Structure 1
Amino acid sequence: MSEFQISLHQIMLLHSTLDKGGTAICKLQRPEASVDAQVEIENDATHHRIKVTLGPLCSSLTLPRALSTKCQSLRDFLQDLANGRADSAAQSEEALALMEAQASVEKVLQTGQIAYVIATVSRQLPLGAVVTNEKGDVCVAVTGADKVQLAAAVRAKLKPGPDGLGNCA
């Protein structure tokens, strides 16, 4: 049995999608079969954040925009995932949820604050966040059911109350 490969045409599509962001369907082929990977790319000033769905597998990858081999890295990542080398390609659903929660929480931080997002042992509130200032003082510690609830809890606690607490600058 041969391995899944990505054609040059598909590599060019991936390269274009990396530059512009957005979604693409990438066909991986081997002589007896083909599979489609759905690739979602979000770009910011410094990174490409990539989410890949391939059948029941969901995985993610972050690549620096300045990396000259980013298209080859994405190709290798997709081929590893399709060929069952999940240990080198796939991140767990939990890891993906933690990355998404981290990004959501970072959007509500004030200048000089650092967020640490973790998995908890609670099934009802599986995500936790601790926000510190640059000195390492804890500003906020919250839990949430999902990334939206977690970010909202951080935002609410960071607003200073009548006693001045919450705004840990």
Structure 2
Amino acid sequence: MNEYTVPLRRVMLLQATLENGGTATCQMRRPETSTDMHIAVENDDRTHHLKATFGPITGSLTLQRGDTAKYMALRDYLEELANGRAFTGEPSQQAIALMEAQDCVNGVLPPGHIAYIVLTTTPARPLGAVVTDAQGELRAAATGTCMLDLAEIIRAKLGPGREGPGESP
């Protein structure tokens, strides 16, 4: 992987700047190099307002003061900005594929069932789904080659009652 990352200990060092405001420099690392990101924080009673600059790229982020996950959100944002994904405002191709797969699988689910769609690490079957009923009981799990394949496998595992995606009864 050649993407920039922020080590967790660096994020923990940013905590004081986040809580008190001011400026900080965070080293972004990837295997072949490291580059500094400059961060400025302004606080009010409820939020932290951050401005981050990474070379020619500048982005901003607002975090809630009481949010216990704000440090992980900060790390995710800094990595996305450094890797060129945060400033576009557009969903990634992976996010679009997941949303489309979700819609496709939802089309074959019986009422009261919920599908959770993920990307797998298997190139031959890149999409995965886990389906639960309203009580949270596992009803089906599968991987597929594409969204239509995944929906068909889930439909078959759940049994008769719904037609495939785009088909009429």
TM-score after normalising by structure 2: 0.50
TM-score after normalising by structure 1: 0.50
